[in-house]
Structures are given as C-alpha cells and as structure tokens.
C-alpha cells in the first residue's frame, strides 16, 4: 500500500488524483501545515526538503519530488 503524505489543496492534489484514477491501494496521511508539521523532525526524516507531498512506497523508500511520483505511479499502472 502507498502512503501519500499530503496537505489539502496544494501540490499533493495532483498525485492524489493520479492514485485515485489508477485505483491504487493508498492511504492519506495529513502533514498539517497549520502546525508547521512539514518541518517537524519526523517529517524531515522522510523528506529533508520539508515539501509536500511525499509518497511512501514501503517502509524505507520515499519519493519526494512530484515528477518521480507521477512517473512511478504511471509505470506501476502500465505493468498491471
């Protein structure tokens, strides 16, 4: 299962659409910008840039740049 670290109505909207469109098995995890969670030590371990979104593929693999998220999800979809 994918985990999309997101915040509503920002750059994470696009990968959220894509995951939904390809009917991927995913879970949404809020990174709450209101509380500056994108700069919390826990989130910075996943994404040192503190940018949202981050896509978790498995316990220790994280995609942190939108283009890589789009390419990866599209490739997975084309293999199904």
Ligand X SMILES: N[C@@H](CCC(=O)N[C@@H](CS)C(=O)NCC(=O)O)C(=O)O
Ordered strands of the 2-6 beta sheet: 26-30, 2-6, 54-58, 61-63
Contacting ligand X (CB under 6 A), which of 46, 66, 70, 72? 66
Q: Which is nearer to ligand X, 49 or 76 (CB)?
A: 49
Pair 62, 54: CB distance under 8 Å: yes
Q: Binding to ligand X by residue 50, rule CB under 6 A? A: yes
Contacting ligand X (CB under 6 A), which of 2, 19, 26, 38? 38
Q: Binding to ligand X by residue 51, rule CB under 6 A? A: yes
Q: Nearest 5°: phi and psi at 7?
A: -135, 140
Residues that bind ligand X (CB under 6 A): 10-11, 33, 38, 50-52, 65-66
């Amino acid at each position: 299962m994918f985990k999309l670290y997101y915040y509503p109505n920002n750059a994470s909207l696009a990968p959220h659409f894509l995951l939904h469109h390809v009917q991927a098995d995913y879970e949404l995890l809020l990174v709450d910008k209101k509380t500056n969670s994108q700069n919390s030590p826990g989130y910075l371990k996943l994404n040192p840039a503190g940018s949202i979104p981050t896509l978790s593929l498995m316990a220790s693999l994280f995609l942190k740049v939108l283009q890589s998220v789009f390419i990866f999800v599209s490739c997975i979809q084309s293999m199904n």
